Amino acid sequence: MTWSSCSLHAPTLSLSLFLTSRRSRGRDMSCPNLLLSNPRKLATLRLSKVSGHTTELLEIQSDKPTFHILFIPGNPGVVSFYKDFLESLYELLGGSASVTAIGHISHTEKNWEHGKLFSLQDQIDHKVDFIKQELQNNELPIVLVGHSIGSYISLEILRFLEKVTYLIGLYPFLMLNPLSKQQSNIENVAESSILSALLSFSVASLGLLPQCTLRFILSKSLGSSWSDTAIDAACSHLLQYHTFRNMLYMALMEFRKLSEMPDWAFMRENHEKIAFLFGVDDHWGPLQMFEEISKRVPGISLSIEREGHTHSFCCTEAGSEWVAHHVASLIKKKLSS
């Protein structure tokens, strides 16, 4: 998520601008209805030490899994935003997979890292370390699902771990978009340590408000389409100085790294293991990127979401359900091939 302007005049305006640029359009999109007799199994939050860093995990354990889904979030790397999506995905797969979402270092509710900043490469290494620590020694194959910059992180994980058998990138952020004013605005703020600190402080000051007042402000700023799950995640995580400051620093590292050309040769070598979902109006993963990948990597699985859910699909119930259906269908198709 990010903002569409760099105004620092008021904390409320800053937060609103930051969040609204990736929000859903608010359309009431329907998903295919499934008659499921059992109540939905809920995702639970767990803290784990990964290479010395306290890490938030949101997970659903299957009684008889045949594979493991590891979900890599975008930026902000707050797994709580994806609760509805993860629960829907688990349900649609009929309990055939255990599902784990791993948060980014210091994109957390508590300031476990005492203000330290972590780069994009730090976050990639962190995910590889988690797999080696908790998933490497079991016999289950791993399916990676990444959102936004999480798609890029997933590609980097695929380089090092043969245990990963399939990768699905959702609204992938793989390369800078020179036509995006939003990306330019974010980069201008992120490059200045002073502006980054001021914006982070102004946003964090909202966290001092009473919860009822805070929820009211966020509901008005973000629109009625945002789910309770997304509002709760915004209240608990985004209004923290350490989280917001790390989001900006990670964004700066993203812009520097993604100014390079993607590794087309690696994608061609692994095209049978990779699928991407693009949005119609998404400056993070524009359709120009869709066209470039289709030209450079023949045979790769590419789809376009035309239902209007946008980049921040996880912030609405309708978006979470639709994307969960899409991911489940890709996985089922892959398993049956």
| Alpha-carbon separation of residue 67 from 61, 139, 157, 335 (angstroms) | 11, 9, 17, 10
**What are the pLDDT digits (tens) for 32-45?**
444 444 678 999 99
Q: What pLDDT score was predicted for residue 38? A: 61
Q: How many residues does the chain have?
A: 337
- Given a contact cutoff of 8 angstroms between Cβ atoms, the answer to whether 309 and 282 are in contact is no
The closest of 148, 296, 202 to 9, measured between CA atoms, is 202
**Percentage of residues of the chain with pLDDT beyond 90:** 80
**What are the pLDDT digits (tens) for 232-285?**
999 999 999 999 999 999 999 999 999 999 999 999 999 999 999 999 999 999
Walk me through the domains of the chain, giving residue ranges and CATH numbers.
44-179+260-336 (3.40.50.1820)
pTM here is 0.89
CA atoms within 13 A on the CB side of 251: 27
